[in-house]
Amino acid sequence: MVYDASTRMTVTVLLFASYAEALGAASLDVELDDDSTVEDVLAQIRARPGADRLPPAPLVAVNQRYAGAGSAVREGDEVALIPPVAGG
């Protein structure tokens, strides 16, 4: 049996505050290979209209924890782009 070892997955990326306004959405679905990283997610986001208003390396959270560019992203993960925080 022949099959493509590199299957694809869809990951929903949550957007907030100024980033949601820049991209015109509170979340975006991105399609990725199933062995992708945070950097792969960012590459997909950068191709979207309005992404020129985002910094080159926005903070990212995976499953509600801050995650580096090399962190793995898996099917079903909750991925979010985190604008500069301003609580308090």
40 Cβ neighbours under 8 A, 6+ residues apart: 32, 33, 73
Residues facing 9 on adjacent strands = 32
Tell me which of 5, 11, 53, 73 binds other proteins, using CB under 8 A. Answer: 53
For the CB of residue 83, give the shortest distance to other proteins in the complex, in Å.
6
In the complex, minimum distance from the CB of residue 61 to other proteins, in angstroms, rounded to a whole number: 6
For 5, what's the count of Cα atoms within 13 Å in the CB-facing half-sphere?
Answer: 1
Q: Which residues contact other proteins (rule: CB under 8 A)?
A: 14, 16-18, 21, 52-56, 61, 64-66, 78, 80, 82-88
